[in-house]
Structure 1
Amino acid sequence: MFDTSRRRVLQAMGIGGATAVAGCANAPTAQDRTEQRERMEQAATPEVDRVAADPTDIPGPIDRDEPAEVDVELVPREVTAEIEGGVTFDYMTYNGQVPGPFIRVRRGDTVNVTFRNPEENTMPHNVDFHACAGPGGGAEATMTAPGETAHLRFKATYPGAYIYHCAVPNMDMHISAGMFGIILVEPEGGMPEVDEEVYLGQHEIYTDKEAGTEGHHKFDMASMADEEPTYVVMNGEAYATTPDRYGAAATVETGQTVRTYFVTGGPNMTSSYHPIGNVWERLYPEGSLTTDPQTHIQTKPVAPGSTAIATMDFPVPGNYKLVDHALSRVVRRGCMSVVTAEGEENPEVFDPEPQ
């Protein structure tokens, strides 16, 4: 339950009563949307060099045989960063990165969440864990105004890779601005061994200017309502995890296997997740780890609010582009990641210059 002062603060910020904060219970009014947009425009958010999450910053596989208590701290941070060179945008993030931190637990673990909304923020935030069996996935329990801290405790009762995301009434705006991530609940027997793991999250960004227009881009509610994004990106920025930006998502040797954990934050568009020059050798649709994986899949639709776990092998060297096969999003809106495989050529498998 909220205490009286907390309820008044949230109502004053356009959030409404307790029923409004549990996911989609109440839709935001036009005044709510206007007030949130104005707060973002007036705020002097701190500028950072990067919001793109490091794709290899993933906790290691769990090797214990018994459930444990796992402490997780999520801190919503409102920051300004470049979507691409010369183009800035006001992001909303978990822990300063997009997607938010990769959380790794085991089925049966108890997850102790500390959710701290810093005083310098301008908006209320919360988190809805799709891995949490409880009202709103914890959204109401973690609803906080700036300067508040909330706590949530839940047991991870079902395995799989699940999205977590902000779930205030203007959730589409908050997710579009970067507030989503993955919590992986490993099965009791653990995950199959691979050589490398990569974490990628796709979402749309809606702004008041055309893609590539230099300067500061403001969030545009009308474009979001019409589902006409300016950018569609992986890990928060245009082409962030490519050699031309911050470097490839991962560099491996030929013969090795990479497992990708992919989440579509949305808020609106389904991704057609595809590895150019390869296939998904083993794919767990919707992040399910209690069904048999699919094999040799070329392209997998991943809907907003869902995930996929997919592996790929590298028989020959080169740059392997991971894309949304709605290809205008790749060519014109920034949606691509790259995994680089290094090693000797293998002309029996691929020969670009046959004699």
Structure 2
Amino acid sequence: MGLGPFGRIPRRGLLRAGAVLAGAAFGMERSAAGEQDGEGAPSTGHGMAGRHGQNRVVGTVDADRNGFDPMEFLTEFDTGVVTTDPDGRQVREWTITAVDREVEIAPGVFFPAWTYNGRIPGPTLRCTEGERLRIRFLNAGSHPHTMHFHGIHSARMDGVPGAGEIGPGEAFTYEFAAEPYGCHLYHCHSIPLKRHIHKGLYGAFIVDPDPDRHPLSREDAAARKLGTPQNADWQELVMVMNGFDTNFDDENEFYAVNTIPFAYFDRPIRIDRSRPVRIYLINITEFDPINSLHVHANFFDYYDHGTTLTPTHRRIDTVMQCQAQRGIVELSFANHEPGLYMFHAHQTEFAELGWMSHFEVV
């Protein structure tokens, strides 16, 4: 095959070109539909969706085959099993299994993944500050793996080679106190680290503040604690920003929130404008130094790492995170008219390759 006058085109360049061409074709198709409808603007079936941009994937991912749905993942909190130890202390327990499996990360694109409990991201583990946590980790995969938790624990529980790493067929139990409260994550820390993370071994780890430990900020703490009346007022969402290098050249071909590109573009996240929104935002993108979130037509308060009850940034509309950085976003649409409001990465390439979404405010 000849290279032509411009030499070899990298795969990412081909994908960009394909996205532009597919977008142009899709735009023409919609324009024709609009003309047939006798309207001046293209008919989209999703209100403003067609006007925001035309870069798309074609088809849909089979969530049933994958065993997880990014729409359901937004609000799935795994609170484990709660028991009481002989000293009267509350203990929260989970069982997590590392599994090799093929995951459809875009329509017709299958990725040879390493997963926690068969999904990417792994389950969102949620607990309360001060509880004793016990995570039984089983390795049903083909490589050594760990679970490294971003939190406070002893060296023995760090989930790194020599401290919690297990081979195929082995098991290990991590045990530590839930400290500090905030929006955290867990991931594999085996070598080579970039491969174990990129292949899918990561998930959200949320520690709610205990209101009894924060008497001067009891209401703010209670609003964060799952199951309280104050927390019930909030619409809480988990968003894990990730990417996928499908040809293993250390460059991502797809970017997403919760794994599937454009998942929330055609299926916007429905928001009740009478209730505030809280987003647990985590960046675990490999091969890129930063990722970001930008919200259209609104501003938000941001709590870096979620370890404070007062915002670290107020009234911003864009936030950047390096890999493993995370935080809590709080915003309201109370004064907005109903409709579609876009949010996405504010790196254009990331948005065009999948990290593009909508809120549907009702």
Q: Give the TM-score taking structure 1 as reference length.
A: 0.69
The answer on whether the counterparts of 2:78 and 2:123 sit within 8 Å (CA) in structure 1 is no
Letter in 2 for 1:237: I
For structure 1, list consecutive stretches of 5 or more residues without a partner in the other structure. 1-46, 61-65, 209-219, 343-355
Letter in 2 for 1:335: W
2:299 to 265, 279, 285: 279
Post-superposition Cα deviations, 1:187-228, rounded to whole Å, max 9, x if no partner, equal: 2213523431111111221122xxxxxxxxxxx1xx22xxx2
The answer on whether the counterparts of 1:320 and 1:338 sit within 8 Å (CA) in structure 2 is yes
Distance 1:116 1:59, change over 3 A: closer
In the TM superposition, 1:42-81 aligns within 5 A as 48-53=65-70, 54-58=73-77, 68-81=90-103
Letter in 1 for 2:181: P
Larger RCO, structures 1/2 (Cα 8 Å, 6+ apart) = 1
Tell me by how many angstroms 1:99 deviates: 1.8
Letter in 1 for 2:246: T
Distance 1:114 1:231, change over 3 A: same
2:126 to 80, 104, 127: 104
The answer on whether the counterparts of 1:58 and 1:197 sit within 8 Å (CA) in structure 2 is no
The structure with the largest helix share of the pair is 2
Cα distance in 2 for partners of 1:320, 1:306 equals: 25
Cα distance in 1 for partners of 2:356, 2:69 equals: 13
1:88 to 106, 110, 130: 110
Spell out structure 1 runs of 4+ moving beyond 4 A: 50-53
Cα distance in 1 for partners of 2:252, 2:131 equals: 38
In the TM superposition, 1:103-182 aligns within 5 A as 103-118=125-140, 121-135=141-155, 137-139=158-160, 140-182=162-204
Tell me by how many angstroms 1:147 deviates: 1.5
The answer on whether the counterparts of 2:91 and 2:133 sit within 8 Å (CA) in structure 1 is yes
1:185 to 190, 207, 215: 207
Which residue number corresponds to residue 340 of structure 2? 319
Cα distance in 2 for partners of 1:238, 1:312 equals: 24
Distance 1:335 1:293, change over 3 A: same
Cα distance in 1 for partners of 2:125, 2:152 equals: 13
CA RMSD of aligned residues (A): 2.2
Which residue number corresponds to residue 299 of structure 1? 318
Which residue number corresponds to residue 241 of structure 2? 202
Matched, 1:241 2:264: yes
How high is the sequence identity, in percent, across the aligned residues?
A: 24
**Bigger Cα Rg:** 2
Matched, 1:335 2:355: yes
Post-superposition Cα deviations, 1:244-268, rounded to whole Å, max 9, x if no partner, equal: 3xx33x3222222111111111224
Aligned partner of residue 319 in structure 1, secondary structure = strand
Distance 1:231 1:50, change over 3 A: farther
Distance 1:205 1:324, change over 3 A: same
Matched, 1:230 2:253: yes
